[in-house]
Structure 1
Amino acid sequence: MPTVGRDFRCSVCGGSASHLSPVLRRYFCDEHFIDVIVERVRRSINKYKLADKLKRVVVGLSGGKDSVTMLSVLQRLANEFNFEILAVHINLGIGEFSKYSEQICRELARKLDVPLLILDLGDLLGVTLPQIVRRLKRPACSVCGTIKRYLLNVVGVEACATDLLESDRCSL
């Protein structure tokens, strides 16, 4: 979502806009930007009649803006639609990047009071993502996506999740 300069005004309150929604072609301040996202997700849950199906949702949490936003929005809607959330972070073993990402996930889960499961690729498989990429000689994003989808599906089945949400894309 593009950020905008200080000369633009929020379409809702008239305050200083910090976000432009290209889809809606409107400007929003931080508060109303989040409100708009929450409302769009709420409408989607209702439109597709997901409210009765959602009991437990496993959210893949990378620490990036997409998964952080997704978890924050779902946490705001969890009580309204009566579902539980489990956030799952997979530490891929990419040095300082992975340490930093894990710390962001821990802080967010604590702030939102959402349970967080951290899976360490090195502990689970005995190898890290960079080691796997070197051995397989495959693109990192392809390997990363496959590993994360597999592990999130395993956790989802174990947790009896009714939906599995993953938003992050690997970019090294």
Structure 2
Amino acid sequence: MKCHRCSKSAVIHQRYSNAHLCRTHFIDDVERKIKRDIRKFKMVERGDRIAVALSGGKDSIVLLYVLHKVFQDRRDIELLAITIDEGIRGYREHTLKHAVDITGKLGIPHTIRSFDEGFRATLDDLTDKKEYAACTLCGVLRKNLLNKAARELGADKLAIGHNLDDEAQTILMNYLRGDMDRLKRMLPGIAQPGLVMRIKPLRSIPEKEVALYALLNNLPVSMDECPYAGEALRNEIREIINNYEVNHPGTKYSLLGGFDSISEALRMKPNTRIVQCNRCGEPSSEDVCKTCRLLNN
């Protein structure tokens, strides 16, 4: 099949747009969408110091690569990377190597923080001792360390590699729960005391396209799945959306677009109360933060 924009062979058929694209035009399409969202939501502003959450998986590697490509000539924009080592035996070692490789290749400062350092236990240790699901523990504790590290490094923004699939799943999960607070916190540009503002430049890029972009650019990424991923409730939502997308291409974009269309109404909702945790001093919506509750501090 030929590319719709030239005579070269296509590397992808985007069912939601019915476009066949060659390597060059596919890469252009991905980068165009990322640049569009950065401008539209003012994700990056003059003088920003941006911390990139770099796990070493395909999404975070592509995020760092594209941000470097877009802003490498901007002297007023500074990029740095933060990797959290949760301590997952047989998995994290490989992705850590990819994170170190890409930051070294691009010349980007790289900070590594670990659960063992921050909480005196690895995720494997905590999973053996706690009654909570590994994904619950990991999500809360990783966010805690990422925010703390980004704040300590003086970052203005924390870039997260959430792609279109991640966003669509989270939106639907929050709809089903009726959780307007979490929906509001997903909005671009939401500032909360003590929390480094998050940006999601990949929010409009489907997961499969992120993976293809990585492969076409020979990026050092791991396609391995976290051994704890099967425990996540999100898997049910992912399956529902993916099955619907097969019969109704564009469903994921529709979920994201619908969310964006109600963004102004969500912004009018009163902000969630943010206080300092009584035990650790980190920002929290309750007197004792979720990290301390999970760890029983």
Question: Corresponding residue for 1:55?
Answer: 48
Q: 2:2–2:8: 8 Å Cα contact kept in structure 1?
A: yes
Q: Which has the higher Rg, Structure 1 or Structure 2?
A: 2
Q: CA RMSD in A?
A: 2.3
2:68 aligned with 1:75: yes
- TM-score, reference length from structure 1: 0.82
Q: Distance in 2 between matches of 1:79 and 1:66?
A: 19
Question: For residues 116 and 21 of structure 1, do their structure 2 counterparts lie closer, same or farther at Cα, with a shift above 3 Å needed?
Answer: farther
Q: Distance in 1 between matches of 2:33 and 2:158?
A: 19
Match of 2:12 among 13, 16, 19: 19
**Gaps spanning 5+ residues in structure 2: where?**
167-224, 229-297
Question: Corresponding residue for 1:99?
Answer: 93
Question: Corresponding residue for 1:87?
Answer: 81
Question: For residues 65 and 29 of structure 1, do their structure 2 counterparts lie closer, same or farther at Cα, with a shift above 3 Å needed?
Answer: farther
Alignment of 1:83-162 (within 5 A): 83-162=77-156
Question: Corresponding residue for 2:157?
Answer: 163
The alignment covers a number of residue pairs equal to 165
Secondary structure of residue in 1 paired with 2:150: helix
The one-letter amino acid of 1:71's match is L
Q: Distance in 2 between matches of 1:163 and 1:78?
A: 14
Q: 2:86–2:142: 8 Å Cα contact kept in structure 1?
A: no
- State the identity %: 28
- TM-score, reference length from structure 2: 0.50
The one-letter amino acid of 1:55's match is D
Q: 1:53–1:162: 8 Å Cα contact kept in structure 2?
A: no
- Note the C-alpha offset of 1:63: 1.3
- Note the C-alpha offset of 1:23: 4.5
- Note the C-alpha offset of 1:35: 2.4
- Note the C-alpha offset of 1:148: 1.3
Question: Corresponding residue for 1:3?
Answer: none
Question: For residues 147 and 32 of structure 1, do their structure 2 counterparts lie closer, same or farther at Cα, with a shift above 3 Å needed?
Answer: farther
- Note the C-alpha offset of 1:162: 1.6
Secondary structure of residue in 2 paired with 1:107: helix
Secondary structure of residue in 2 paired with 1:95: coil
